[in-house]
Structure 1
Amino acid sequence: MSADNQTAPREQFTGQVGFILSAIGSAVGLGNIWRFPGVAYENGGGAFLVPYLIALLTAGIPILFLDYAIGHRFRGGAPQAFRRIKGWLESLGWFQVMICIVIAVYYAAVVAWAASFFVYSFGLDWGDDPQAFFFGEHLQLADVGGADPWLTFDFVAAVLIPLVLVWVVVIAVLAAGVVKGVQRANIVFIPLLLVAFGALVVRALTLDGAAEGLNALFTPQWDALGDPDVWIAAYGQIFFSLSVAFGIMITYASYRRRRSNMTGPGLVVAFSNSGFEMLAGLGVFSALGFLALEQGVGVGELGIAGVGLAFVTFPAIVSEMPAGALFGALFFGSLVMAGFTSLVSILQVVSAALQEKFALSRTAAVLWLGGVLGTVSVVGFSTTTGLILLDTVDYWVNNMGIVASAILMCVFVVWVYRRAPELRYHLNAVSTTQLGAWWYACVGAIIPVMLGIMLVQTILIRIDEPYGDYDETYLLYAGWGTVALLVVGAIVFWAFRWRGPDLPRAWPPYPPVEDPAVRKEASR
């Protein structure tokens, strides 16, 4: 019996809506809510929208299509898909899986924080000093450096309990499968997220001082367009927010039927992601304008990005406004839903890779990854040093790991093995929106050049000065060690013998086959 006939039917999204909502659920995450407003504010305000839109069209959408084409044509998770391009490129797929593994163990902790603050918001439990509450009572943050330990095993119940619950729920969703688990969760959560965050934005726009906040965000600083760093920031924001180049969209695309429109839904996902970022900017800066007015300070003097925005600044806003408990519940409920759908997509990459490589059942793969990664997550990120470790690992894996993955993908797939014409042909054969030669220029030149500049700039900065004023020895292990873990893990997984079945041949055949009988046989 041929390997093709031994291949079990691949799980598939039930339709276009399920796929689109799942892809949006992956793309729309915590970073959309707390990263975009701050990046836009710091890089030209309204003028930032110009490089942002250009980056979306020349980098975000093209590399999203590259992910879709690889996953849909070669019908596998990242290791399997790259293996079908060239055997040894399976290691690049495992590099992307390792990125997902590292992100998952700390991303779950942030979702757990948001879940805790969702509960806290009903009683405004953070009191008059949200900063002291978050870093002190909630996280019980320890100092790291000098004689202090880099990693403690002093567990914090307020983090430990919700973190365990997050892992239990996400394992249950993954174990249910692509349709009954992943798709169903996104069909429920994404509309709820839109309704909840939409209500939050409407309320924020009616606050006193909202106009001042929006002016701070959208007043254009046109001279910023001459700053190369602003353009790099725009490409970075688009790249990080779309969940591209680390296996998610490759895996999701592999679960679509062979005759499925790919480029149309891709445009919907990309513009929905950017639309949600704009919506987040409206809500966040309207609320910041209100807080600035209440405290008699400028908007720029408030925390406008990152963890501090979500867990310090927003609780302060909630405490000052009428019906603040409802506003807080909407905000932190939105964080939970956005974070949870992204976490599911990240772990689906790992689950799919384990199933395909080692011929595991879905349940076995999910239990393995849930048991191992859940344990690492709890041990590493529910302690008094969890935030410091999270901050460090997040910086290195996002700014170096994912960027390097995208560069390598473009270089080997487009330059070395010259598969771009085949992938473009594939997307055009199954899709309504056709790709032109411009796509080659984007994935073959613009993306690797821009991301290459970002990567070199990041490495030089980190060599020159420590990140976050942390101990340099700590950064060597927790930061650069993370990059080493990605590489070593990819090599180790690649070294194991492939136990899963080979997949059916790629369809449609390339170069195109004109004989109908041959085409029909190839499509089986």
Structure 2
Amino acid sequence: MSTTTSQDEQAEARRGAFSGRRVFILAAIGSAVGLGNIWRFPYVAYENGGGAFMLPYLVALLTAGIPFLLVEYALGHKYRGSAPLSFARLSRRTEGLGWWQVGICFMIAVYYAAVIAWALSYTVFSFTQAWGEDPDAFFFGDYLRAGDPGVTLEFVPGVLVPLAVVWVALVAVMALGVSRGVGATSVIFIPVLIVAFAALVVQALTLPGAAQGLDALFAPDWSTLADPAVWAAAYGQIFFSLSIGFGIMITYSSYVHRRTDMSGSALVVGLSNSGFELLAGIGVFAALGFMAQASGVAVGEVATSGIGLAFIAFPTIVNEAPAGAVIGVLFFASLVMAGFTSLVSVLEVVISAVRDKFETSRVRATLVVTIPCALISLIGFSTTSGIYVLDIVDHFINRFGILLVAVVSMVVIAWGVRALPRLRDHLNRDGSVPVRGWWIALVSVVTPLALAFILVRELLAVIEEPYGGYPQWMLVVFGWLAAALVAVAGFAIARVPWRPETSLDVGDRPENDTTARSQP
């Protein structure tokens, strides 16, 4: 047994590990807290009942978000591998699910870096308010130079340069490894992000009209609780904001020492993510309240989400607000930090899978993954057509990639290989929060049904009305084909045999329960 344990320790030394539970929790929070927390949650809450939305949101967190987070923590922590290796150790028949998740992460990394590059540019623009009096025209015209929807190879230097800077930083961080790169980035960026965004919230709350904005956000419309669409929005927001369903938390939990409290960690990460979303809602709607008052309109007329909120509404606020440059720098710097830590986690899924499958070095795996990613990103998203391609890929990969693989994986884990009792026992071995039959019921029935309902709604919506009014060929190529490609490629890669030295039974050996407990 000691020989086998020594082999396991050597294997983990090669893969890398977080230095402690605190670093793991910060890394997991860094992955969960991303652009969606800042620019998506406030508007989703506002559109779905305001203060009343907090009830379905909390229900979704407790019945779907944290339970599914526990599934991924248990899977990665018990089977000690990347998403494909953990699924392969669960059952050889399920390995393709892990590679499907890897393909999704590769696709996300390619376009997500572009949004971070935009935020990096706008951090600098905030000092001089370079967007002028018409942020809308500046963003789509002067900055992105976006023409009609289509595909061009006309590069935009103002996007190409910051995007290259983002990729250079990413390559450096990923090459440094799990502890010195991924972990250290989260240890530095997450506290700074919290302080910067808290400062932004304080600044926004002092603006005239802030109370009007908060009233618009939190005034409850209890009648919305009878609308299934509101509950679907709550489950969708929780799912997408926690970074679950595409292998990140499986990968991160495999880097944690064996005797670690995973159930307590899931609770901390889930509640921290929701707490940041609430903070984001306060800051964003306080600023929108100011914008509404300054424009003499209702908050609803200026409330928006996504790219419109970040790159059009907030520059307008910066133009009109006292100390606007401070607000702009804090807001866009927060977007950069939140996006960067999330993108690091997305890339780690791919790099970890390549390392496990092909037994290669950290630096080599980093270059094999990041160089193709960077080239596709630079060629595809620093052109005048980049924003349109990004919008389509993001919509379809999120709905018909992440959401679909999550539903399939939950059904397979719960009903196909019936692994939930094993995963429950693993979580309870060292967990501070007991995981009982309620968890199995939620993961095997409630969560898959809720996400399947959302998936069907999204499918019917896109069939009824083509997304975004884009040409059908663009939706087929960059939407449906992209979503299908990651699934097909995932199951194809799963047919490649593992190297003989890669053990596929590590998760079920009894000596795993005798390893020394890690320090928090």
User: Is TM > 0.5 for Structure 1 vs Structure 2?
Assistant: yes
Residue 254 of structure 1: how far off its partner (Å): 0.1
Specify the code of the residue in structure 2 equivalent to 1:18. Answer: V
Q: Equivalents in 2 of 1:160, 1:293: separation in Å? A: 37
Task: Give 1:379-394 correspondences, 5 Å limit.
Answer: 379-394=379-394
Q: Equivalents in 2 of 1:3, 1:20: separation in Å? A: 26
Residue 182 of structure 1: how far off its partner (Å): 0.5
The answer to whether residue 87 in structure 2 is matched with residue 82 in structure 1 is yes
Alpha-carbon RMSD across the aligned residues, in angstroms, is 1.8
Specify the code of the residue in structure 2 equivalent to 1:5. Answer: Q
The answer to whether residue 71 in structure 2 is matched with residue 66 in structure 1 is yes
Q: Equivalents in 2 of 1:103, 1:520: separation in Å? A: 39
Q: Equivalents in 2 of 1:519, 1:98: separation in Å? A: 33
Q: Please say if residues 33 and 280 of structure 1, whose CA atoms lie closer than 8 Å, have aligned partners that are also in contact.
A: yes
Specify the code of the residue in structure 2 equivalent to 1:77. Answer: S
Q: Please say if residues 75 and 503 of structure 1, whose CA atoms lie closer than 8 Å, have aligned partners that are also in contact.
A: no
Q: Please say if residues 130 and 312 of structure 1, whose CA atoms lie closer than 8 Å, have aligned partners that are also in contact.
A: yes
Q: Equivalents in 1 of 2:108, 2:408: separation in Å? A: 19
1:170-202 superposed Cα distances (whole Å, 9 cap, x missing partner): 110010000000110111100000000000000
Residue 265 of structure 1: how far off its partner (Å): 1.4
Q: 1:252 to 1:518 in 2, by over 3 A?
A: closer
Deviating more after overlay: 1-10 vs 180-189:
1-10
Q: Equivalents in 2 of 1:500, 1:184: separation in Å? A: 33
The answer to whether residue 444 in structure 2 is matched with residue 444 in structure 1 is yes
Q: Please say if residues 396 and 483 of structure 2, whose CA atoms lie closer than 8 Å, have aligned partners that are also in contact.
A: yes
Name 2:408's counterpart in structure 1.
Answer: 408
Residue 519 of structure 1: how far off its partner (Å): 6.3
Task: Give 1:195-344 correspondences, 5 Å limit.
Answer: 195-344=195-344
Give aligned-pair identity as a percent: 53
Name 1:32's counterpart in structure 2.
Answer: 37
Residue 506 of structure 1: how far off its partner (Å): 4.1
User: SS at 1:495's partner residue?
Assistant: coil
Q: Equivalents in 2 of 1:502, 1:443: separation in Å? A: 30
Name 2:178's counterpart in structure 1.
Answer: 178
Specify the code of the residue in structure 1 equivalent to 2:54. Answer: L
Deviating more after overlay: 467-476 vs 189-198:
467-476
Residue 501 of structure 1: how far off its partner (Å): 3.1
User: SS at 1:256's partner residue?
Assistant: coil
Deviating more after overlay: 457-466 vs 31-40:
457-466
Residue 391 of structure 1: how far off its partner (Å): 0.5
1:330-386 superposed Cα distances (whole Å, 9 cap, x missing partner): 000000000000000000000000000111111001001111010001111110000
Runs of 4+ with >6 A deviation:
1-4
Q: Please say if residues 4 and 504 of structure 1, whose CA atoms lie closer than 8 Å, have aligned partners that are also in contact.
A: no
Q: 1:191 to 1:3 in 2, by over 3 A?
A: closer
Q: Equivalents in 2 of 1:518, 1:155: separation in Å? A: 53
User: SS at 2:81's partner residue?
Assistant: coil
Residue 490 of structure 1: how far off its partner (Å): 0.6
The answer to whether residue 50 in structure 2 is matched with residue 45 in structure 1 is yes
Residue 231 of structure 1: how far off its partner (Å): 0.2
Task: Give 1:475-486 correspondences, 5 Å limit.
Answer: 475-486=475-486
Residue 89 of structure 1: how far off its partner (Å): 1.1
The answer to whether residue 146 in structure 2 is matched with residue 141 in structure 1 is yes
In structure 1, list runs of 5 or more residues that go unmatched: 145-149
1:42-63 superposed Cα distances (whole Å, 9 cap, x missing partner): 1011100000000000000000
Q: Equivalents in 2 of 1:262, 1:406: separation in Å? A: 20
Deviating more after overlay: 108-117 vs 474-483:
474-483
Q: 1:416 to 1:315 in 2, by over 3 A?
A: same
Q: TM-score, normalised by structure 1?
A: 0.95
Specify the code of the residue in structure 1 equivalent to 2:329. Answer: A
1:419-456 superposed Cα distances (whole Å, 9 cap, x missing partner): 10000000000211111111011100011101111111
Residue 504 of structure 1: how far off its partner (Å): 7.5
Name 1:127's counterpart in structure 2.
Answer: 132
Q: Please say if residues 106 and 377 of structure 1, whose CA atoms lie closer than 8 Å, have aligned partners that are also in contact.
A: yes
1:219-258 superposed Cα distances (whole Å, 9 cap, x missing partner): 1011000000000000000000000010000000000001
Q: Please say if residues 80 and 507 of structure 2, whose CA atoms lie closer than 8 Å, have aligned partners that are also in contact.
A: no
Name 1:147's counterpart in structure 2.
Answer: none
Q: Please say if residues 159 and 382 of structure 1, whose CA atoms lie closer than 8 Å, have aligned partners that are also in contact.
A: yes
Deviating more after overlay: 167-176 vs 299-308:
299-308
Q: Please say if residues 141 and 384 of structure 1, whose CA atoms lie closer than 8 Å, have aligned partners that are also in contact.
A: yes
Task: Give 1:339-378 correspondences, 5 Å limit.
Answer: 339-378=339-378
1:76-102 superposed Cα distances (whole Å, 9 cap, x missing partner): 010000001111211100000011001
Deviating more after overlay: 484-493 vs 69-78:
484-493
Specify the code of the residue in structure 1 equivalent to 2:170. Answer: V
Q: Equivalents in 2 of 1:474, 1:327: separation in Å? A: 37
Name 1:434's counterpart in structure 2.
Answer: 434
Q: Equivalents in 2 of 1:27, 1:392: separation in Å? A: 22
Residue 489 of structure 1: how far off its partner (Å): 1.8
1:454-488 superposed Cα distances (whole Å, 9 cap, x missing partner): 11111111112100111112211111011121122
Q: Alignment partner for residue 5 of structure 1, among 7, 12, 24?
A: 7
Q: Please say if residues 359 and 500 of structure 1, whose CA atoms lie closer than 8 Å, have aligned partners that are also in contact.
A: no
Q: Equivalents in 1 of 2:146, 2:68: separation in Å? A: 39
Specify the code of the residue in structure 2 equivalent to 1:37. Answer: P
1:151-182 superposed Cα distances (whole Å, 9 cap, x missing partner): 11101011100111101101100100000001
Q: Equivalents in 2 of 1:48, 1:91: separation in Å? A: 37
Name 2:470's counterpart in structure 1.
Answer: 470
Name 1:420's counterpart in structure 2.
Answer: 420
Q: Please say if residues 214 and 289 of structure 2, whose CA atoms lie closer than 8 Å, have aligned partners that are also in contact.
A: yes
Name 2:98's counterpart in structure 1.
Answer: 93
